[in-house]
Structure formats: C-alpha cells, structure tokens
C-alpha cells in the first residue's frame, strides 16, 4: 500500500492563495507518489459559520479531488480520549493547573524555546493536586522523557526540535491539535504530511508523541509559505487574496490556479502540473504574492 496524503484546513474563514498553494502541493505530492488523498476538517475549536462549505467549494474549484468521505475532528473526541488513556495507564500523564500567564511568566532554562512548558506541575504531590482541583480544572500533560527529537523532512533534511510536556487535554475538555493530528494521521493511513513550514518547529513534538503511541512514522514535507508585500505571512489584510476577491477583480479561477502553479514553476493546469511535478525542482524560497490592483 502506498499510503495517503492529506490536506487539513481549519474552518475559520475562506482559504487564501497561500492555503490553496499548500493544498495543491499536498495533492501533487500524494498523487505523484500513488497515494490516496484525504480531506480532513480540523474543527476542534469553534468554527465560523459557512467556512467549511466555502473551503470545500474553493478546493474543488481549483481542481482538487479527494478519496472517501471528509473526516471531522469534532466527531472524534472518544478516539483522542482513548489515546490519552493509554498514555495514562503507562504513567506518562499528569495534571497541570497553570494558567497561560503563569506559563508565560515562569522561569525557564537558558535555552528553552519561547512558550515551552517549564514543568511547574510535573512533580506536584497528590495532596497538592487535591487542593488545586477545586480551584481550577486541570489540563493533562505528557510527561516527556526527552527534551528534543529529530525528524526527517523531504525539503529540509534532518531537523531537531525541542520537546516539552505538551498538553494532551485542555482544561475545557477539548483535545489539542498536537494530539489530534497524530491520532488522525495514523487512523487514516496517512504516511505523507505536506504543510506549511511554519509548523516544522512543532513536528518533533508530534513525532515523539506518535512514537509513544506506537504509531507508524510519516514522511514530512514542510513547504514554503506565501508572504505578503510586507514580508509577513499572507493574510486577508493584504488585499485580494481569496478566489472570491480575485474574481471581483476579473481574475477567473483557472487564471488564479495558473498563477499559483506558476509560482511553483509548474504549468498552469493541474493535469499538466502533475505530469511535470518534481519535488527536487520546487522553489526553496517563499512566494511574495502581489495582489492584482494592490498599487491602485
């Protein structure tokens, strides 16, 4: 079995050309290697009304197809809780009562990355935990046994990143992204993960968690982001960056698709792009997107 690739948007709004570029790359990587291609909706956090339908419409409009039904994370909480229970039974989980501000203000080791958990609640006594529970519902954290982990990325080579005691269950009872994505990739047989390189730094934590759960490794491909004219990650504030906004300027979906594929050095239609696709020839620098009419 060749396995599968996937695209997993969060239904928080319309997709912009940067999102669509990543989706097209995920499809091209999967189809060029004989893999299935799945679509997953990462809707554990509150979704914006109508966003999922708009995203599916735009993905289909640029020519993407996917295999099977759409997996929605909001329907899979029992599966995530089962994975947490397995880790609990192995003694790998502890309760954390820290607020975000407490974590932010806590002292850390000199080389700890910003935002990493300093282990404040790691060694609380049972008496202290009993005292704290009525005050604040605890989150559940992984008792990590490593401080860093190495993954291999098709475009970036070996990458070693920090691993802390990541959250497995938020104190509102919602499983977080880092757990859900690992469990879902394994459940769907996904062995190729193509996504933006802004997520590369969190990948060692996910790969380490997958190893503890006995899940198979995956091939990672972290692609360059699309930037706005200011050099920051593309966002709607940069102007006409969605298919709908581009259409208002007279740019059709085929023209927008050709523009995105052209930024990758590929022909302007998806069948032609698939025939010409070669990961070794992909640009290794971000695409700075200039919305048509931006200087008017």
DSSP letters along the chain, please?
---EEEE---SSS--BHHHHHHHHHHHHHHHHTT-EEEEEE--SSPPPTTHHHHHHHHHHHTT---SS--EEGGG-HHHHHHHHHHHHHTT-EEEE---HHHHHHS---TTPPTT----TTTT--HHHHHHHTTTSPPEEEE--S-SEEEEEETTTEEEEEE----EEE-TTSPPPHHHHHHHHHHHTTB-EEEEEGGGGGGHHHHHHHHHHTTPPP-EEEEEPPEE-TTSSBP-GGGSS-BHHHHHHTT--HHHHHHHHHHTTT--SSHHHHHHH--GGGS-SS-EE---TTTT-
- 281 among annotated binding-site residues: no
Mean pLDDT of 28-41: 97
CATH number of domain containing 238: 3.40.50.620
Residue 294: the pLDDT is 53
Mean pLDDT of 176-181: 96
220/181 Cα distance (integer angstroms): 13
- 8 among annotated binding-site residues: yes
Q: Is residue 203 part of a domain?
A: no
Residue 181 clears pLDDT 80, i.e. is over it: yes
Residue 63: the pLDDT is 96
- 10 among annotated binding-site residues: yes
Residue 103: the pLDDT is 86
- 177 among annotated binding-site residues: yes
CATH number of domain containing 136: 3.90.800.10
Residues 249 and 278 placed together within one structural domain of the fold: yes
- 98 among annotated binding-site residues: yes
> What range does the domain containing 123 cover?
77-149+159-173
Q: Is residue 238 part of a domain?
A: yes
> For a pLDDT cut of 90, what percent of the chain falls above it?
85
Residues 163 and 96 placed together within one structural domain of the fold: yes
What are the angstrom distances between the C-alpha of 105 and each of 94, 114, 147, 169, 207? 21, 11, 20, 22, 28
Residue 129: the pLDDT is 97
Residue 87 clears pLDDT 70, i.e. is over it: yes
- 117 among annotated binding-site residues: yes
Residue range 183-198, pLDDT digits in tens: 999 999 999 999 999 9
Nearest to 290 by CA among 203, 249, 109: 249
Give the mean pLDDT of the chain: 94
Residue 171: the pLDDT is 95
Residues 81 and 59 placed together within one structural domain of the fold: no
The larger pLDDT score, comparing residue 2 to residue 270, is at 270
- 195 among annotated binding-site residues: yes
Residue 109: the pLDDT is 65
Residue 296 clears pLDDT 50, i.e. is over it: no
- 40 among annotated binding-site residues: no
Mean pLDDT of 144-160: 96
Residues 47 and 91 placed together within one structural domain of the fold: no
The larger pLDDT score, comparing residue 235 to residue 262, is at 262
- 121 among annotated binding-site residues: yes
Mean pLDDT of 133-160: 96
Contact 226, 234 (CB under 8 A): yes
């Amino acid at each position: 079995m060749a396995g599968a690739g996937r695209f997993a948007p969060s239904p928080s709004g319309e997709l912009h050309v940067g999102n669509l570029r990543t989706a097209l790359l995920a499809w091209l990587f999967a189809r060029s290697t004989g893999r299935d291609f799945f679509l997953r909706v990462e809707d554990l956090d509150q979704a914006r009304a109508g966003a999922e339908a708009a995203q599916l419409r735009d993905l289909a409009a640029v020519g993407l197809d996917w295999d099977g039904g759409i997996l929605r994370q909001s329907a899979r909480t029992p599966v995530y809780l089962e994975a947490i229970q397995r880790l609990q039974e192995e003694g790998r989980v502890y309760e954390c009562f820290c607020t975000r501000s407490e974590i932010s203000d806590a002292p850390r080791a000199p080389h700890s990355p910003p935002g990493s958990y300093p282990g404040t609640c790691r060694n609380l006594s049972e008496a202290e935990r009993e005292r704290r529970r009525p005050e604040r519902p605890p989150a559940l954290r992984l008792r990590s046994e490593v401080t860093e982990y190495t993954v291999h990325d098709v475009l970036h080579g070996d990458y070693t990143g920090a691993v802390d005691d990541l959250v497995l269950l938020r104190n509102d009872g919602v499983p977080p992204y880092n757990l859900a994505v690992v469990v879902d990739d394994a459940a769907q047989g996904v062995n190729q993960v193509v996504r933006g390189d802004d997520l590369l730094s969190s990948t060692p934590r996910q790969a380490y968690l997958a190893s503890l759960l006995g899940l198979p490794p995956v091939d990672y491909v972290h692609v360059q982001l699309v930037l706005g004219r200011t050099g920051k990650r593309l966002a709607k504030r940069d102007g006409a960056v969605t298919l709908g906004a581009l259409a208002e300027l007279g740019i059709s979906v085929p023209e927008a698709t050709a523009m995105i594929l052209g930024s990758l050095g590929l022909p302007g239609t998806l069948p032609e792009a698939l025939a010409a696709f070669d990961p070794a020839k992909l640009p290794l620098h971000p695409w700075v997107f200039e919305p048509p009419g931006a200087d008017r």
